Every structure is written in C-alpha cells, then in structure tokens.
Structure 1
Amino acid sequence: MAERERVLLDWARQVLMLDTLNIDAVIADASTRRYVRLRSAQQTHIVMDAPGEATMIAQFARVAGLLRRAGVTVPSISAAHAEQGFMIMSDFGKQIYLTAVQDHDPQSLYRSALDSLIRIQQHADASSLPPYDREFLLREMRLFQEWFLERHLGVSVSPETKAMLESAFEFLCDAAGEQPQVFVHRDYHSRNLMYLDGSEPGIIDFQDALYGPLGYDLASLLRDVYIEWPIEQFNDWLRYYHAQAGALVEAVDLNTLTRWVDLMGVQRHLKIAGLFVRLALRDGKRGFLDDLPLTLRYLEHVSRQHERLHPLARLLSTLELRA
C-alpha cells in the first residue's frame, strides 16, 4: 500500500470509528484529484483525495451547502482534513448517467436532471461565487488555439486566423453576457450525474461552480461530449426545460434559448478541445483524446448554423481533425 493511501486509511478509520475499513476502489478524474471508495462491513464511503488543495476542499463544502439548500441531491460530508486534502462523503454508488441510460428510460432521467438544474438556477445563491466573466471565458477558449491547433495538430496560426478566432471568441462572450446570470455547475453532464434508483440525480464534481450564463449548464447536459443525442431529442428536452423553468425564461422565446445553448456549447467545446489535448500531452491522460471527435463534430455543426461563426466552421472543415 502506498504511503498516502495508508495515511488516508488511518485517518478515515479514526474519524469514522471503523477498524475494519478498507480501500475498495480508486477513481481518477480529469484533475489531480482522485476519489477512493472505502468499504466497511456495513456501508461504503467516498474519500476525495486532493493533496495540496485545502482551498478546494473548503470550496467543495461551501458549494455543497448552496446546492443542498436549493433542494437538490449532493453528497453529505462526514469529515474533512483540509491540510491533508481529504474529505469523506456519502457514496452515491457506481452508476453514472452515461451508463444508466443503457438500462433506464433516458427521457425520465434527463427530465429529472433538467428539473434539478432548474431548481439550482432558481434557488442556489450564486452571489458569493466568482463571476464567469469575459476574462474567464476568453482564457478558456484560447486553450483551443494553443493546445488543439498548435500543439496537437501542429498548425502555425497566422495573424489572420488568430484575428478570426479572437473575433469569434468576443462574439461568444457577448452572447454569454446577454443571458440571465445564474449558478453554473460548469460540468453538468452524464459523468457527474449519478443514478439513484429512479429518483432525482445525485450531483457531484461541483466545486468549480461560478456565477454565469444560464445556457452553459444546459449545453453541458444536452450537448455532452461523452454521449450524443439526436437533434430531435435535444429539441424535445430544450422545450421541456423552457416549459418548466418559469421566471428564468418567461421573457425568452424558445428560439432565443436555443441560440444561447448553441453559443455556450461552442464556447464550452472550444475549451474542451484544448483541455482534452492538454490533459493528454501534459498530464499523460490520453484517454481524453477518445472524446475529441464528438467535441469537434459539435463545434463544426453548430458553427455552421450561426453566421458570425462561419469562418470558424470553415477553419474546422479544412483541418485534419485527428484525435
């Protein structure tokens, strides 16, 4: 057993007062964090293992409180050791939405996920969260040029192409700014929603939440880079959200909402294209490259539907888009 796992296990046994606690599984994610499932004779627990991330541990606990008060299901926290980077929380099991849709009705699952999202956007107090502002949005989108175009594809970006990209980025920032600003989970998708025996989803991985555009989490869910839905299903779920969201969109028609989701999806997928390459090349997590093709299909398809993004669509169509 590695030294850190021994320290984690000793601490967990002490705070949970369970001598028979053992490590059942270790789950990595896209960050430096990992999640350890601990098992006793009676139950299981999840431990977030985030060395050197005391601030993030505190942020996770704070955001969990915001979401719990909004009326959605998040893990309960049993104990934390900020200095070590440990946090013990309840275990939602192993079935994420990505696999649950194979055995359960996607319509029911996604309507439940949309209901939870509406509660978050209506009731989660995001006033204390950092803003998802123009500077933040631009920094994310510029990952596309640096990591995807230059480092992954080896493209030498001309001044003209750089100017085109910056114009597209500014357009997308403007679109974000015209939307209602709400609590934004930032990764509200099929790998961060847990199936809980037919009830509303268990929501995880919310510690990086920001205060930003309403369409962002909708794009994360409905144009998920890990699973693709037919356009008819996308439209049906967006109509459901529009009908249920009440005051959030009462002054917004469905076409405008669709435009917001489209454009926030482009912003997100530009970021993800760069981020997945960075995870592969810098951090050795090459499995993320498997999800690049769908990300790029979304980018080209949606860019073709919006005139201001036609130059971006043309760029995408001329590149050798290899994962």
Structure 2
Amino acid sequence: MSLKADYALQRKNLIGSFLESENITFKSLIKIKSDASHRKYYRIQNKKLLLMDADPRTNEKLTSFVKIDKILLNYGLTAPKIYKKDILNGLMLLEDFGEDTFSKILNKKNEKIMYKNALEVLSVLDNKGKTAPTIKGLKKYTINEQLKETSLFFEWYLREHLGKKLDKDSILSFELNLKKLYKKICTKNRTLVLRDFHVDNLIRRADKKIGLIDFQDALLGSSSYDLSSIVEDVRRPISRELKDMLIKYFHKLTKEDLEKLKIEIAYFSIQRNMKIIGIFSRLKYRDNKPRYMKYIPNAKNFIRNHLEKQELRILKDWFEANRINV
C-alpha cells in the first residue's frame, strides 16, 4: 500500500470513530460540492448536521473557526452551532443551514431585500465594533497582510498566467503606493471583518435568517471591506443602481460617513480583487481548478472602474507605467 493510500485509510478510520459515537455511518454521508478551499463537507441524511473534514495537513484554521463562531453567536448573528469537534484531527459536526445559498436563490425579484438583509448583518458587526470591547487575541487586518495578498497577483496572475515578471523596484513602488493610500483612507480597524462575505457564503435559512459560513479568516478591520465584498462580488455583479442603493442603505444603518464609505469601498475593491485574481490563477495552475478563471474579467472590471477615481490616481499611474492592462 502506498503512503497516500495508507494515510487515506487512516483518515477514513479516524472519521469513522468520530462519527460512531453519534450513531452516524458513512452510508448517511452525502458529499457537498467543494469550494476553493481544501475543506470537505458532508451532509448527514435525516439530521440537520454537516461533517466538516479539514485535514490538518492543509493548514485549515479550525481553532479560528471555533473562536469566530462563538463571537458571532454572542453578537446574536446566525453562525452554525458546533455539536462536536476534534480540533487536533480537523473534524467537526456543525448545524446544517440547508442549501439555499444566495448564489442559488438570488434573482431580480428578491435581490433588493436579500442584499439589504445581508447588509443588516454587516451593520451589527459595525455597531459592535463601535460599542463592544475589543476582541482579545484577534489580529488586525493590517497593510502588511493586505500586501501579502496582493503579492498573489504578481506571482500567480502576472508571472504564472501572463508570463510577465515585474522587477523588485516595480513591486516596491506598488507597495509604497498602497501603504500611502491605506494610511490616508482607512482609519478604522475596530470591526470584525469576515473577509469572505459573498454570495456563496450566505445562506437563507428556513426561518429567513441569514446563515454565515466560512469565516475562519476573520480579522479586525474596516466594515467597508465586507461591504465591498458583497456589493462588488465577482460571482454575481449587480447593477450600478442597486449597488448605490445598498451603499446608501448601509450608511443609513451605521451612520458611517457616506463619502468615506465610497472611497474605502474603492480601495478595498482594488486590493481584494487583485488578491482574487491571484488566488483564482493559483487554483488553476497549482490546484488544477481552472473553473474560477471565468470570474477574472469581473474582478478586472471592478479594479478598472475604481482606478478612475482621483483619490486612487497613483495606482492607475502605476498600472499604466508597468503596462498592466485591467
């Protein structure tokens, strides 16, 4: 037996033992189509439960998931209850919110109310950021973390996909420009930022509440980041009219300065979509998952539109100087 096959058998036996105490058999598991992560999910027949299989070799963050889950529940939001966990071996039994993700059920008739419901969730996080005690042990979404993410654009999209390698001075110039903008634009680092707040990770439960999943990468930052993620989602771009309405609605809910919101959304959209382009390129070339490349034109459209803003002119100049078309 090969080492790979031997490990797979050990893993299966481990999962079997984990499930056995709950009277759950392998026959009752229905595999759910996986996303871009390494985690595997199984729906358990006749029980409102999911099995999360996060193999420790993939460095999935179960400890962080448990911590953020508890915070969200304490905030009164709808995160899955954890019924059983084995952190060391990367296994959990979670509450199953069902299959009605926003990506499946959004349409022109319901999108306005559903997006507003999503923003009401973000407004809770924004309000808690202003009023609740600082969350101990949670890192901030710093400019250095953001630069690590944008480096994926240079490594996997420019170099791997386009065959274009930038010199160190060009990358350093970009980093200095982004740091300058971040310092000027983003003055808040107090809100729990989920960082994957998009249509695949929002589920409308039977009771109409918005279920949250895939939040283990949450950090403290600006609420504008998650707002940017949902109103400029590469998986489902929305009309300019709807986006403007939603930004104004979030402003109404949170009393955040409207013009500041708009420029922060623009900044985070550029940064986030550079990261997304890099991640989707990596999924193709490293992980043999090319299906996400179809979203890159949407990400590039968001970047291109925001580069026209005067406040972000230095980034447009940088893209043009380095002959990078978006």
- TM-score bracket, shorter-length normalisation: 0.7 to 0.9
- For 2:84, the equivalent position in structure 1 comes to 79
1:290 equivalent in structure 2: 294
Partner of 2:267: 263
After TM superposition, list the pairs within 5 Å mapping 1:13-162 onto structure 2.
13-18=19-24, 22-39=28-45, 42-52=46-56, 56-102=61-107, 105-123=110-128, 126-158=135-167, 161-162=170-171
Superposed displacement of residue 55, structure 1: 7.5
8 Å contact from structure 1 (residues 138, 173) kept in 2: no
| Between 115-124 and 131-140, the greater mean CA deviation after superposition | 115-124
Match of 1:168 among 166, 172, 177: 177
Contact 1:127-1:211 within 8 A present in 2 as well: no
Report 1:196-207 matches (<5 A).
Answer: 196-197=205-206, 199-207=208-216
Q: 1:167 to 1:212 in 2, by over 3 A?
A: same
* Distance in 1 separating the partners of 2:188 and 2:202: 25
The normalised TM-score by structure 1 is 0.88
**Would the aligned equivalents of 1:131 and 1:212 in 2 still touch at CA under 8 Å?**
yes
Deviation at residue 295 of structure 1 after TM alignment = 0.7
| Deviation for aligned residue 1:309 | 2.4
Shift of the 214–26 alpha-carbon distance from structure 1 to 2, 3 Å rule, reads closer
**Cα-to-partner distance string for 1:111-131 (whole Å, 9 max, x where unaligned):** 111111111222265343111
Note if contact 1:34-1:50 (Cα within 8 Å) is conserved in structure 2.
yes
Compared CA separation, residues 19 and 289, structure 1 to 2 (3 A): closer
8 Å CA contact 1:21–1:38 kept in 2: the answer is no
CA distance in 2, matches of 1:18, 1:148: 43
**In 2, are the aligned partners of 1:183 and 1:211 still within 8 Å (CA)?**
yes
**TM-aligned CA deviation for residue 210 of structure 1:** 0.5
Relative to 1, partners in 2 of residues 1:236 and 1:121: Cα closer, same or farther, differing over 3 Å? same
> Closer, same or farther in 2 for the Cα pair 1:103/1:228, shift >3 Å?
closer
Question: What is the alpha-carbon distance in structure 1 between the residues aligned to residue 124 and residue 321 of structure 2?
Answer: 39
1:11 aligned partner, one-letter code: S
Residues 199-232 of structure 1 show CA distances to partners (whole Å, capped at 9, x for unaligned) of: 2310000111101122111111111111101111
Unaligned runs of 5+ in 1: none
1:164, 1:311 within 8 Å by CA — same for their partners in 2? no
Q: TM-score by structure 2 length?
A: 0.87
SS at match of 1:28: coil
The unaligned stretches of length 5 or more in structure 2 are none
Change in 2 beyond 3 A, CA 1:73/1:175: farther
C-alpha deviation, 1:4, in angstroms: 6.2
Q: CA deviation at 1:174?
A: 2.1
CA distance in 2, matches of 1:79, 1:159: 48
Contact kept, 8 Å, 1:223 with 1:265, in 2: the verdict is yes
**Aligned equivalents of 2:56, 2:196: Cα separation in 1:** 22
Count the aligned residue pairs. Answer: 313
Aligned mate of 2:278, from 268, 274, 277: 274
Question: Which deviates further from its counterpart, 50-59 or 297-306?
Answer: 50-59
Q: For 1:34 and 1:173, how far apart are their aligned partners in 2?
A: 36
Distance 1:4 1:298, change over 3 A: farther
Cα distance, 1:46–1:315 mapped onto 2, change above 3 Å: farther
User: Percent identity among equivalent residues?
Assistant: 25
- Give the AA of the match of 2:89: Q
Alignment of 1:214-233 (within 5 A): 214-233=223-242
CA 1:135/1:69 → structure 2, altered by over 3 Å: closer, same or farther? same
Does the 8 Å contact 1:25/1:36 carry over to 2?
A: yes
- Counterparts in 2 of 1:200 and 1:71: CA distance versus 1, 3 Å: same
The 8 Å contact of residues 205 and 211 in structure 2, kept in 1 or not, is answered as yes
